[in-house]
A and B are shown apart, each in its own frame.
Chain A
Amino acid sequence: ELKVEQNPLFLSMQEGKNYTIYCNYSTTSDRLYWYRQDPGKSLESLFVLLSNGAVKQEGRLMASLDTKARLSTLHITAAVHDLSATYFCAVDRMEYGNKLVFGAGTILRVKS
């Protein structure tokens, strides 16, 4: 069974600081996703990571994947207020029908 754990669940940080969100998953997965969700809104796809060592960057966000450790990180560089949102990681497996299994989410609040 696929299980996903994220930490921290809540993160309050100052603008300009760096921090990392961690995502562990329980068994081999095909893909790892990071999504952003603003309150009451939809899920916005940030990154899809497919292979060990994959690293993707978009603006102040960088995601990486270590399939051997079953760990993905989402690194935030020089945070700005606009990054305040809830961030979910999710995994899927073809043999499980590609349904997404989500972590609990990390609520990020960037204080100016």
Chain B
Amino acid sequence: AAGVIQSPRHLIKEKRETATLKCYPIPRHDTVYWYQQGPGQDPQFLISFYEKMQSDKGSIPDRFSAQQFSDYHSELNMSSLELGDSALYFCASSSEQGTTDTQYFGPGTRLTVL
């Protein structure tokens, strides 16, 4: 079965650079969630989209922005990167917000900021 696809899988950036992470949800899933997981921590919700509209926002820095496109893929844009942004970034998708469908997680993008 098709799973959530994230790219790139690994990314190394310098401080103050920008990064773009991409997420391709499971086909026919219309909701995308972004989570950040720091070393040894639990995943923290950043932002979500339902039918291409932002549906919820968590503890996402103003330096980060995201959107969901017409084909339902999503991109997380991160600017002025800081050392503390080094983390695993997960995208998860589900079908139809508010249903009993679980969120399926992608493999994650490991971002390292030097």
Binding site for B on A (CB under 8 A): 31, 33, 35, 40-45, 48, 50, 88, 94, 96-105
> Across the two chains, which residue of chain B brings its CB closest to A107?
B40
| Neighbouring B residues of A42 by C-beta, 8 Å | 90, 105-108
Q: Do A50 and B110 have beta carbons less than 8 Å apart? A: no
Interface of B is mostly: strand
Instruction: Please report the total number of B residues contacting A with Cβ < 8 Å.
Output: 27
Cβ of B42 and Cβ of A105 under 8 Å apart?
A: yes
Which A residues are in CB contact (< 8 Å) with B44?
Answer: 102
Query: Which one, B15-23, B62-70, B71-79, B94-102, is touching chain A?
Result: B94-102
Output the least CB separation between B19 and chain A (Å): 19
Find chain B residues with CB under 8 A from A41 CB.
Answer: 107-108
Task: Give 18 A-B pairs besides A35-B105, A42-B107, A98-B94 with Cβ atoms closer than 8 angstroms.
Answer: A31-B102, A33-B102, A40-B110, A42-B90, A43-B105, A94-B98, A96-B56, A97-B48, A97-B55, A97-B56, A99-B45, A100-B33, A100-B45, A100-B92, A101-B45, A102-B44, A104-B41, A104-B42
